[in-house]
Chain A
Amino acid sequence: MKYSIFSLAANALTGHKGWKPAWRDASPREAYDVVIVGGGGHGLATAYYLAKEHGITNVAVLEKGWIGSGNVGRNTTIIRSNYLLPGNIPFYELSMKLWEGLEQDLNYNAMVSQRGVLNLFHSDAQRDAFARRGNAMRLHGVDAELLDRDAVRKMLPFLNFDDARFPIQGGLLQPRGGTVRHDAVAWGYARGASDRGVDIVQNCEVTGFRIENGRAVAVETTRGTIRARKIALAVAGNSSRVAAMAGLRLPIESHVLQAFVSEGLKPLLPGVVTFGAGHFYISQSDKGGLVFGGDIDGYNSYAQRGNLPTVEDVCEGGMALMPMIGRVRLLRSWGGIMDMSMDGSPIIDRTPVDGLYLNAGWCYGGFKATPASGWCFAHLIAHDVPHPAGAAFRLDRFATGHLIDEKGQGAQPNLH
């Protein structure tokens, strides 16, 4: 069914009894051309673009729980392309362009809202670093504006501009950044893929790989063995565990990142505000809740829940930036498991096992990358050649020295 004002009106007049499920909940068949492990945003986007852009429709997406139950439903829904390094900017800008056309492409309301992302700075040195970043973005055709203190005050008069440690001197604004309804991204891609013949298989956990003569030929699952000509992993958070079943060790640690949402408030924040110096960022959802977060807890974890010192740290950051937040009650907090890579950048590449492809290492930047990740991963799977926008995200870059370390922290994943 194509969604439109007419389908909405027709269903409204008939008591909304005519709506059909948006996608098929399939049972696995014995063999596919491509099996994608992981029914999150990246896996579903990969399946969608494989079918739509490359005509490969004999595809299954295997999900151990239900689709969208991992990080695509656990993030803070922000999209942006304000990167500095050459390997990153073209990729994230491709993602931003795909976001801009996503709803029309999918015929699905993902509530893409380009309300702007503002990164605050607090010193002359930080201003210069942000100016350089903004210039790099503009050289790559990305929008960026350097705002002074007065311009920020006009936009966000309620911020604490005279904090003793981090007085606000201005900010770098990307007006095209914003937020997206994250669950709708998973559902929209699932619907688009399913309509083109992709099997979406839930409650199907991969328990092993069958490897013959150095080539992956099948996955063992809780719902039986499934043969595949190509097997693609998009299981960020658990990449190390799944890859270990194929005998691989990855340059990744799993860490927990917490996020928070307040009770609903009247419209308050026009866009996304990041307070990097205070380890805090915030936006307001369309329901009115303040959605905010900070740093990862900082130790290896698969627990999908964090600890209180990080909650305290994030809330202190919030109080330092906008003291009025102290009167708001917290509604929920949750944790997601991040693939923290050794340089803070992702991996989209083939692996040493023939026929096994890897999409991993998204750190806490995976959501905004969803469309481009699917686009580039689908290209790699279809043609065995990396897409130009994702060609830098190689698995062997740690051995060759071609790291993409946006923060310059080195192989210490909890600092990226």
Chain B
Amino acid sequence: MRIRCPFCGERDVHEFTYLGDANGTRPDPSVADAAEQFHDYVYLRDNPAGPHREYWYHGAGCHGWLVVERDTRTHEIRSVAFAHEEAAQ
């Protein structure tokens, strides 16, 4: 598996570290059901068989956090973007 880092170009997967699902949004701790929302945020996953948006860290390269869309059935990578650019949108 190779990931095309937007800054460094295509690199072998061993340069990267995996964090996981990139779809969660950290809940607001001040809302009434914050404990329940945090439980869902921390512990529950959609875990799809198919396209999956996920965080990878390019530790042996530019030290950038990436959002990668990858098919969990084939490991095919469909898109890669910087996480901060995704977050800004």
Which residues of A are at the interface with B, using a C-beta cutoff of 8 A? Answer: 238, 240-241, 244, 249-254, 298-303, 307, 309, 312, 342, 398-399, 411-414
Contacts and interface: CB of A to CB of B under 8 A. Distances in A.
Main secondary structure of the interface of A (DSSP, over half): mixed
Contacts of A302: 49, 72-73
Interface string B19-49: 1110000000000000010011011111111
A299 B18 contact: yes
B69 to A, nearest CB: 12
Interface string B52-86: 10100000000000000010111100000000000
B72 to A, nearest CB: 5
Interface residues of B, number: 26
Contacts of B40: 249
B57 to A, nearest CB: 12
Contacts of A249: 40, 44-46
B13 A307 contact: yes
Nearest to B16: A299
A208 to B, nearest CB: 16
Contacts of B13: 307, 309
A298 to B, nearest CB: 5
B10 interface: no
A399 B41 CA distance: 11
Q: Identify which of B13, B19, B36, B43 gathers the most chain A CB atoms within 10 Å of its CB.
A: B43
Contacts of A342: 42-43
* Dominant secondary structure of chain B at its interface with chain A: mixed
A298 B54 CA distance: 12
Contact of A250 (B20, B47, B48): B47
B1 A253 contact: no
B12 A414 contact: no
Contacts of A411: 42-43
B73 A300 contact: no
A303 B75 contact: yes
A307 B45 contact: no
Given A309-B12, A398-B39, A254 B72 contact: yes
B45 A303 contact: no
A302 B1 CA distance: 15
Nearest to A401: B39
Given A254-B72, A299-B54, A240 B20 contact: no
A207 to B, nearest CB: 14
Nearest to B56: A299
B27 to A, nearest CB: 14
B1 A399 contact: no
A413 B54 CA distance: 14
A249 B54 CA distance: 18
Contacts of A301: 72, 75
Contacts of A299: 18, 54, 70
A240 B46 CA distance: 7
Contacts of B44: 249-251
Given A251-B45, A309-B12, A309-B13, A298 B75 contact: no
Given A249-B44, A411-B42, A412-B20, A303 B74 contact: yes
B49 A250 contact: no
Contact of A300 (B36, B39, B47, B74): B47
B49 A251 contact: no
B39 A303 contact: no
Nearest to A313: B14
A336 to B, nearest CB: 14
B43 A240 contact: no
A300 B52 contact: yes
Nearest to A411: B42
13 contacts: A240-B45, A240-B47, A249-B44, A250-B44, A250-B47, A253-B21, A254-B47, A299-B54, A300-B72, A309-B12, A309-B13, A411-B42, A414-B18
B71 to A, nearest CB: 9
A253 B39 contact: no
